[in-house]
Amino acid sequence: MINQRSTTILPKNGYDIQEAIDAVPSNNKEVVFILVEPGIYNEKIVVPADKPFITLSGSKPNGTVITGSDSGNIFESATFTVLASDFVGRYLTIQVYITSPCMCGPGAKAVALRVSGDRAAFFGCRILSYQDTLLDDTGRHYYSNCYIEGAVDFIFGNAASLFERCHLHTLSEGDASIIAQRRESPSEETGFTFLGCKITGVRTAVLGRPWGPYSRVIFVLTYMSNVILPQGWDDWGDSSKQSTVFYREYKCYGPGANNRKRVEWSQLLTAKEAEIFLTKNMIGGKNWIRSTPKRFKKASFAISNNSTTH
């Protein structure tokens, strides 16, 4: 049981976000609330596995921007990496800042956010890159009212995640995939569910393709603009995966949700089948998704960065 009387860390001018995270005791058992004042923070941040129960919060996402420019290895290059359990991110922009044209060209992988801890939640965040924006790697995760932007496989990984009321914006200029889920066996309880979301974009894209042979993606009550191609899904050039993937839609709407020309190996859910995907129970969220603490034990040191340039 965690201590609900939380600590707040308000770092002094000159401190960066990583220093505030590093100041949290290892294996702490109380919520630590780190308030980040508006500004642009050019940092590569890691929340280590031995620092659970951290909440990192800005006051509004457009004002608190964490930016990086690394690319390449998807597990090492992320601007922001969460390895700890019970992490919460609130009202932050996490992005890859494109410093050269080659970074956003075909094949260039630049991860903005990697989430590899269990029971992680993000509220009102903006997550921005081009290819491989959000590595939703392992664990149970919840994304609420987040804006996620990219062009190729920009939400990918093998977590068990619920995206609720999120806005997905594809920069694809052809037929790139939005989702690349990696479930590798039928015994894995992983997959991505998008509930009450919105999909927009600049040209056309498909909803998803299988990074793993048992890839599982569900769209429920989601608005799909005409950016979504009629076929809806792609098998990534491997027809054998058509019989093992689980790609489903339920009561989605908008011009891109027309299912008359969907690939035959995707299906619509019945009302009974959809029930489990309409609540947070699918990720056990009732037991771990927490609200902002109301009481704090102490205030020690708010992160402030008045820089307005990258």
* Beta-strand pair 120-123/267-268: unpaired
Residue at token pair 């029930």: 275
Task: List the chain domain ranges.
Answer: 62-293
Looking at the annotation, which residues are catalytic? 153
Sheet holding 216-220, edge to edge: 267-268, 246-250, 216-220, 191-195, 160-164, 140-144, 120-123, 88-90, 54-57, 30-35, 3-9, 296-299
Q: Any idea what DSSP says for residue 283?
A: G
Length of the chain: 310
User: Is the pTM of the predicted complex or chain greater than 0.75?
Assistant: yes
pLDDT in single tens digits along all 310 residues of the chain: 444 445 555 544 556 899 999 999 999 888 899 989 899 999 999 999 999 999 999 988 899 999 998 888 999 999 999 999 999 999 999 999 764 444 445 456 899 999 999 999 999 999 999 989 999 999 999 999 999 999 999 999 999 999 999 999 999 988 999 999 999 999 999 999 999 999 999 999 999 999 999 999 999 999 999 999 999 999 999 999 999 999 999 999 999 999 999 999 999 999 999 999 999 988 999 889 977 666 656 544 456 664 433 3
Q: Looking at domain 62-293, does it have CATH number 2.160.20.10?
A: yes
